[in-house]
Amino acid sequence: MGDARQNVHVAKIEKELRYVSSLIKQKGREILNNYKITPPQFVALQWLSEDGDMTIGELSNKMFLAFSTTTDLVDRMEKNELVQRLKDEKDRRVVRIHLLNEGKRIIDEVIEKRQDYLRDLLIDFSDSEVASLKQNLTKLHIKMKQE
């Protein structure tokens, strides 16, 4: 009996996560409309902000994009002075993508607006509900990364 109930819960959880993810992505794109960057550029800037300088190959792998697509993306961001290419100090043949102040400013502003949006949605949740939601999402995320 427990398995059938669990399957119903799992189906509903999957559906809710899909809807939540879609709505967050939609809101994120609305916020990005006020900036001179595209959603893929935002993702690239986020990776650079979180993980530091990296090669185009490393960024391609993180974004699941072709190397040539990522190169075009970096070219446009470099033209807009969001990032710059820097030669690696240890190996001059290696070129790393470096996040510039303007790129960092945009990332920080957009993330702050996304957090404001989520904060407004959670206004009617108790402190313990917010803490529980955070704890359960973190636990799920860790489990997914282990797979």
pTM value is 0.82
**pLDDT, averaged across the chain:** 93
Q: Is the pLDDT of residue 4 over 80?
A: no
pLDDT score of 2? 59
User: Which tens digit of pLDDT belongs to each residue from 45-71?
Assistant: 999 999 999 999 999 999 999 999 999
pLDDT score of 105? 95
Domain count for the chain: 1
Counting residues of the chain whose pLDDT is more than 90, the rounded percentage is 84
User: Which tens digit of pLDDT belongs to each residue from 71-111?
Assistant: 999 999 999 999 999 998 888 889 999 999 999 999 999 99
Helix residue ranges, H only, the chain: 2-32, 39-51, 56-63, 67-79, 101-121, 127-146
User: Which tens digit of pLDDT belongs to each residue from 8-42?
Assistant: 899 999 999 999 999 998 998 999 999 989 999 99
> What is the residue range of 7's domain?
2-146
Helix (H, G, I), strand (E, B) or coil at 17: helix
Taking the CA atoms of 53, 56, 57 and 59 in sequence, report the sign of the dihedral they define: positive
Whether 82 contacts 45, CB under 8 Å:
yes
CATH number at residue 138: 1.10.10.10
| 130 confidence band (pLDDT: 50, 70, 90) | very high
Q: Is the pLDDT of residue 115 over 50?
A: yes
pLDDT score of 1? 47
Q: Is the pLDDT of residue 135 over 90?
A: yes
Pairing of strands 95-99, 83-87: antiparallel
